[in-house]
Amino acid sequence: MSKRGKVWLAAAGIVEYEGKYLVVMKKYGGLKGKWSFPAGFVDPGETMDEAAVREVYEETGIVAETIGIAGIRSGVINHDISDNLVVFHMKRTGGTEISETAEIATCAFLTKEELLADPRTSSMIPSFLNGMDQFMSEMNPGNQFQYTTYKLMYHTPK
């Protein structure tokens, strides 16, 4: 078993800046080649919001602060691993975009329209950008993740 055990906790950030959203394209895993929000596991001794701030910076070079909770994604992988993600609304406070890291092929600020039209956009992004309150229990993010249960709960301020 991995060092994370069978209960995973991660954090992600939705950074909106000048009408665009910060997204990354990962080099590995189920999100390889897809636009997704910067995200990663919470480290020992770290709160969820601190993890979101750290991940945004590590993956993009952008400094941001949390301003609220956007939602939660909770799923079970292969009837075995509880995979949980808290998504935060964030505000850019500084930093400069970096072009590539060991995990990230690229990062960019894209408009909502660009993200919704791009087939490379991960399935979770439209749910958060469309500005609705909802609890979704029937969504399938793709077989590459091997979720046997997948729930998305979110609120986007109008």
Label residue 2 by pLDDT band (50, 70, 90): low
**Structure tokens belonging to residue 28:** 């590995």
Note the pLDDT tens digit of each residue in 47-72: 999 999 999 999 999 999 999 998 88
Residue 156, pLDDT > 90, answer no
Residue reference for tokens 């997948």:
150
Q: What number does CATH give the domain 7-154?
A: 3.90.79.10
Instruction: Give the N- to C-terminal CA distance of the chain in Å, as an integer.
Output: 42
Q: What percent of the chain has pLDDT over 70?
A: 84
Rounded Cα distance, 139 and 136, in Å = 6
Task: Give the per-residue pLDDT at 26.
Answer: 93
Paired with 75 in beta bridges are 83, 150
Q: Average pLDDT, whole number, for the chain?
A: 87
pLDDT of residue 120 exceeding 90, the answer is: yes
